[in-house]
């Protein structure tokens, strides 16, 4: 299937590693032009150097908590590429398996950080790109959230991810008449370069071996293993394409199937 992405211009935040990097690589493979955004300039340059040969890519360092920096990055992308067709919001720390703190030890600033970075950070980029998309009557915005939105065990992770899903639906309703589709993708625990450390932390907290920790994390996944960042990126790439016109405002789970739960 031709995803019709050749020449489409995409901003991917959190693009220096993890799911963001996997999405950038997948879009490049389909012929998209890219703007890679993350906070670390060196990591961004390294990521851009690993893209397929011939990919047109800009590496723009920006902190999503800074609205002026976000607007400047989008303005430069529009100036140098001629516009923005696709935004993939992925700049956030992944939720860790299990709760970070019990209620009695919870700290307000932990939640403020989650909302500032993920919810408001996503909103800032969407707000900045929407006028350009609307002017050309076409666009795709994909928000990377997470299955913590549908599970207990990480209070602040659940709050931020539910907020991203609610924001997505509201933006989809508002921007749909301008030809802009907005969707949210919910990965579960996903295999990235961070996975060994995540598994080690999970194992240490429970007094089990890393092998047993990985098995425990995979036990509730219907396909019997953790999904990889590249597999998440395949779904995001489809959602970024003109082929996905029938999907907007909805949440797409990409965690390999959570056992026992029915979501409708």
Please give the pLDDT value at position 17. Answer: 95
Work out the angle at residue 200's Cα, subtended by the Cα atoms of residues 194 and 204, and round it to the nearest 5 degrees.
150
Please give the pLDDT value at position 98. Answer: 55
Q: What is the pLDDT of residues 20-34, one digit of tens each?
A: 999 999 999 999 999
- Predicted TM-score of the model (pTM): 0.95
For a pLDDT cut of 70, what percent of the chain falls above it?
98
- Computed over its alpha carbons, how large is the radius of gyration of the chain? 18
Question: Hey, where are the domains in the chain?
Answer: 9-191+231-253
Q: What is the pLDDT of residues 68-120, one digit of tens each?
A: 999 999 999 999 999 999 999 999 987 665 556 788 888 899 899 989 999 99
pLDDT at 54 over 60: yes
Provide CATH code, domain 9-191+231-253. 3.40.50.720
Q: Which DSSP string corresponds to 153-196?
A: S-HHHHHHHHHHHHHHHHHHHHHGGGTEEEEEEEE-SEESTTHH
> pLDDT band for position 261 (50/70/90)?
confident
Helix residue ranges per DSSP H, 52-183: 67-81, 108-114, 120-136, 155-175
Q: What is the pLDDT of residues 163-209, one digit of tens each?
A: 999 999 999 999 999 999 999 999 999 999 988 888 998 899 899 99
* Residue 28: its H or E element: helix 18-29
Please give the pLDDT value at position 96. Answer: 64
**Would strands 251-254 and 180-187 be described as parallel, antiparallel, or unpaired?**
parallel
Lowest mean pLDDT among 25-29, 154-158, 160-164, 236-240: 154-158
Please give the pLDDT value at position 223. Answer: 96
Task: Quote the tokens at residue 104.
Answer: 């009695």
Cα 21 from chain centroid? 10
């Amino acid at each position: 299937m031709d995803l019709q992405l050749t020449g489409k211009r995409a901003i991917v935040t959190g693009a220096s590693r993890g799911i963001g990097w996997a999405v950038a690589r997948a879009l490049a493979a389909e012929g998209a032009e890219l703007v890679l955004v993350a906070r670390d300039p060196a990591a961004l340059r390294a990521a851009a150097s690993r893209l397929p040969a011939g990919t047109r890519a800009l590496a723009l360092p920006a902190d999503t908590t800074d609205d002026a920096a976000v607007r400047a990055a989008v303005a430069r992308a529009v100036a140098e590429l001629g516009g923005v067709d696709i935004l993939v919001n992925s700049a956030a720390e992944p939720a860790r398996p299990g709760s970070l703190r019990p209620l009695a030890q919870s700290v307000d600033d932990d939640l403020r950080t989650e909302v500032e970075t993920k919810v408001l950070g996503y909103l800032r980029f969407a707000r900045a790109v929407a006028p350009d998309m609307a002017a050309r009557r076409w666009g795709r915005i994909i928000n990377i959230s997470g299955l913590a939105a549908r599970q207990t065990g990480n209070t602040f992770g659940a709050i931020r991810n539910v907020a991203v899903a609610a924001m997505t639906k509201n933006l989809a309703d508002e921007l749909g008449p301008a030809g802009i589709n907005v969707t949210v993708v919910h990965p579960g625990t996903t295999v990235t370069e961070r996975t060994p450390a995540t598994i080690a932390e999970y194992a240490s907290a429970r007094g089990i071996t890393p092998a047993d920790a990985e098995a425990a994390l995979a036990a509730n996944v219907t396909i019997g293993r953790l999904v990889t960042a590249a597999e998440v990126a395949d779904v995001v790439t489809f959602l970024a394409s003109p082929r996905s016109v029938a999907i907007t405002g909805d949440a797409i789970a990409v965690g390999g199937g959570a056992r026992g739960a029915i979501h409708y």
